[in-house]
Structures are given as structure tokens and as C-alpha cells.
Structure 1
Amino acid sequence: MTRSIWKGPFVHPSLLKKIDKLKGATSKKPIKTWSRNSTIIPDFVGHSFMIHNGKTFIPITISEEMVGHKLGEFAPTRSFKGHTPADKKAAAAEKPAEGDKK
């Protein structure tokens, strides 16, 4: 479900506070956040975030193309290890089970 247009995009209030603090500062220290459901607004462009993926924090720098998306879209929660190679599957199928004797 999407959020209704009249409500506007959801951004966690603590993120808005942190962005306001960084606007006046010269150092661009990354903002650490757990709010994966916050929408990226134009005020975030150029800032760097550390987005929690459930285990670690993923560093992300916000660009103009990211506006309108959610922060969680850029910090994947699952890591793909790859498919089992075909040669391993074939070797397992050829090898008889330990209980089977012919």
C-alpha cells in the first residue's frame, strides 16, 4: 500500500532533526539510522547515511536519482551466495548412498 498524497512522504522526525543540524555544519559526518521506511526527500541529497540492514550499517551517499525512494531500498537485508555449481550436483547424484550396497 502506498501512502496517501495529502499526507506527504514519511520521514522519521529524528532524521529531519539530524539533517537540520548538518545543514549549518561544514563536516559531512554520516548519519546513522535504523529508519529504513523513511522516504528520501530533496533535503537529503549530498548527505551520507549509514543504513542498518539488520546486521550491519551500509554506507550510502544520497544522489538526486534516489529522491522519492525509501532508504531501505539501498541497503539489502539478504546476501546471495550463489547457486550450486552443476558439477557438484552431478557428483552427488553419481555417488551411492552409504546404506545402499549392490
Structure 2
Amino acid sequence: MTRSIWKGPFVEESLIKKVEKIKNETNRKPIKTWSRKSTIIPDFVGVSFLIYNGKKFIPLTVSEDMVGHKLGEFAPTRTFAGHTPADKKAAKEGSSDASSVNKGDK
């Protein structure tokens, strides 16, 4: 279920204040934030953020395409290392056995 229109998007108040403050500066440093749940609003376009993913801060520069999404969508919290060769071999053997059983049933 989506958020009610009348409530508007959630954006951390401190984040809005930091963006307004940094818009006036010429030397823009990235804004460090832990608020992954904040929605990206049009005021954020062109601003750089450092978003915490639970381990480290991920750099992000907001573009127009990102408006409406959450900051956390652009800082993944989980890494997929890939399947080990043993896993691939077991999956391949398992799928070939299953296909031969299905062919015999026909």
C-alpha cells in the first residue's frame, strides 16, 4: 500500500535544513546522512550525499531521474559474492537429472 497523497513524502527535517544551507555555498561538501528512508525531492537535485549502508558511506549525486525514490535505494546493504563453483556444479547436475526424469514420464 502506498503513502497517502495528503500526507506528502517523508523527508527528514534536518536533511532539508542541510540542503538549504549547502545550496548557498560555493564549496559544496557531500551531506552525510543515515536517513535512508527519506524521499528524494526536487530540492535535492545536484546535491551530493553520503548515504550509510550499515557498514560504510556510499557517495551519491542526485539527478532529476531520482526524484520520488528513497535515498536508501541507491545504497545497497547486501552484497552478493556469487555462487561457488561447487554450487554451480550441484545446480547443473540437479537440473539435468530433473529434466531426464521428466522426459521419461512422457
The TM-score normalised by the length of structure 2 is 0.79
- Give unpaired runs (5+ residues) of structure 1: 91-102
Equivalent AA in structure 2 for residue 18 of structure 1 = K
Q: Which residue of 2 aligns with 1:16?
A: 16
Indicate the residue corresponding to 2:79 in structure 1. 79
User: 1:31-70 alignment to 2 at 5 Å?
Assistant: 31-70=31-70
Q: Which residue of 1 aligns with 2:99?
A: none
Q: Give the alignment's Cα RMSD to 1 decimal.
A: 1.6
2: distance between equivalents of 1:54 and 1:87?
A: 28
- Letter aligned with residue 38 of structure 1: S
Distance 1:5 1:57, change over 3 A: same
> Scaled by the length of structure 1, what TM-score is found?
0.82
Of 13-22 and 78-87, deviating more is 78-87
1: CA distance between counterparts of 2:10 and 2:47?
Answer: 18
Instruction: Name the CA distance, whole Å, in 1 between partners of 2:68 and 2:54.
Output: 22
Q: Across the two proteins, how many residue pairs are aligned to each other? A: 90
Write the letter of the residue equivalent to 1:40.
Answer: I
User: How far apart in 1 are the matches of 2:35 and 2:53?
Assistant: 10
What is the DSSP-based 3-state SS (H/G/I as helix, E as strand, rest coil) of the residue aligned with 1:79? Answer: coil
Q: Which has the higher helix share?
A: 2
Give the distance between the partners of 2:54 and 2:65, measured in 1 at CA: 25
Change (3 A) 1:2 1:89: same
Distance 2:55 2:67 in 1: 25
